Amino acid sequence: MSNLNPPRRLLFGPGPTQVHPRVYEAMGKPIVGHLDPFFFEVYEDIRRDLRAVFGTQNPFVQVISGTGSAGMETALANFVERGQKLAVFTAGFFAERLVEMGRRHGATVVCSSKPWGETFTGEEASAFIEREKPHAVAFVHAETSTGARQDLPAITGPAHASGAITIVDCVTSLGAMPINIDASGVDVAFSCTQKGLSCPPGLSPITVSPAAVDRLRDRKAPCPIWYLDLKLLLDYYEGAHRYHHTAPISNFYALREGLALAREEGIEARFARHQAMHDDFVRRIEAAGLEMFIPDEARRITNINTLKVPQGVDDVQARKRLLEKYDIDIAGGFGPLAGKIFRIGLMGPLATPDNVELLTGALIESLH
């Protein structure tokens, strides 16, 4: 008998998040070969349900074998070639990761930057894009490091008016918040499985508009990262099923089951549940005299709540008490927000009234 005995935590952090028992059960099913017809049936179920949570009719919906950062690398490696201009809107840690990856791929990166936690208006985006005239524009929809939500059309509109394609990080928002890829004008969107979809980490869903697929076909040089070359992956998943890599079969089972749970609940109902639990959380903590980091309600992520650390409170000790006394795991801030905010996830199985009550009661007690 195995002596592996992990603690049973309540994962109220920004990710990984709590996994539904049905997802764990799916991961225990017998694996098949990565070229088995059954695996491709599972894959088609995943693609169908991903379209609903992304809010797209794109034929191109794939899953990268790798975490959300692999999705980010895939997007930049395939759609920004060496020497092309990449414009990035930065106001948080993961937008800065877009900048770093773009530079490593040889792009000419230009940035429009704001302090962490702020977002960009359409006027600001338009002026920057019109001046720079980039090949591609990249930004984060829901910035995990700050809790701020960027309005999508405010940036995608000016980008398309300039002829640029848009690359959007949807790592935090997919499965918990409406994205509406098609209506919002997003060309390339990537995400992960361990946040709004409430599955284990290890996969990165990605969708690409028909216009961006044309750009992919027209690129002059092959993708510099063989493993993340979307043309090769298309031949594996959609073409002749020619061997490319050994897919993590159990993770695909988990994603299929996580998406099935979302479909059964109803996508709009799932979004509404996360919004309602966010509202309940904010009401409770503000009633206790605590303060949200993002002041504007319309700019807040619904499934990751950022809360100011009260004056005189040691955030490390407060989080340690939550973990030791209640088995509740939340995260602190980092970078310029280190020691200044708590990052608290309300996602998937934990986004319920009882869990909000449990969490806020334990949090308030620990702060006191």
Residue (of 146, 197, 150, 153) closest to 169 by Cα position? 150
pLDDT higher than threshold 70 for residue 37: yes
Q: Rounded to whole angstroms, how far apart are CA atoms 356 and 364? A: 12
Report how far residue 250's alpha carbon sits from residue 193's, in angstroms, rounded to the nearest whole number: 13
CB atoms within 10 A of CB 110: 17
Q: Which pLDDT belongs to residue 217?
A: 87
DSSP string over 248-302 = -HHHHHHHHHHHHHHHHH-HHHHHHHHHHHHHHHHHHHHHTT--BSS--GGGB-S
pLDDT tens readout for residues 306-342:
999 999 999 999 999 999 999 999 999 999 999 999 9
Name the packing angle between helices 93-104 and 68-79 (round to 10°): 40
Task: Using pLDDT thresholds of 50, 70 and 90, give the confidence band for residue 358.
Answer: very high
Q: Which residues contact 10 (CB under 8 A, 6 or more apart)?
A: 18, 326, 327, 328, 329, 350, 355, 358, 359
Considering the segment(s) 21-262 as one domain, its CATH architecture is 3-Layer(aba) Sandwich (3.40)
- Give the pLDDT band of residue 1 (cuts 50, 70, 90): confident
- Looking at the predicted structure, is the pLDDT value of residue 38 above 90? yes
Domain with CATH 3.90.1150.10 in the chain: 266-367
Distance CA 258, CA 256 (A): 6
Which residue ranges does the chain devote to CATH 3.40.640.10? 21-262
Mean pLDDT of 163-170: 98
pTM: 0.96
pLDDT of residue 282: 98
Among the residue ranges 140-154, 216-230, 249-263, the one predicted with the least confidence is 216-230
- Write out pLDDT tens, residues 209-240: 999 999 998 888 999 999 999 988 877 667 66
CATH number for the segment(s) 266-367: 3.90.1150.10
pLDDT at 231: 87
**CB environment 144-183: b (16+ within 10 A), e (fewer):** bbbbbbbbbbbbbbbbbebebbbbbbbbbbbbbbbbebee
Mean pLDDT of 269-275: 98
Mean pLDDT score of the chain: 95
Q: What is the pLDDT of residue 256?
A: 98
Mean pLDDT calculated for residue range 60-82: 96
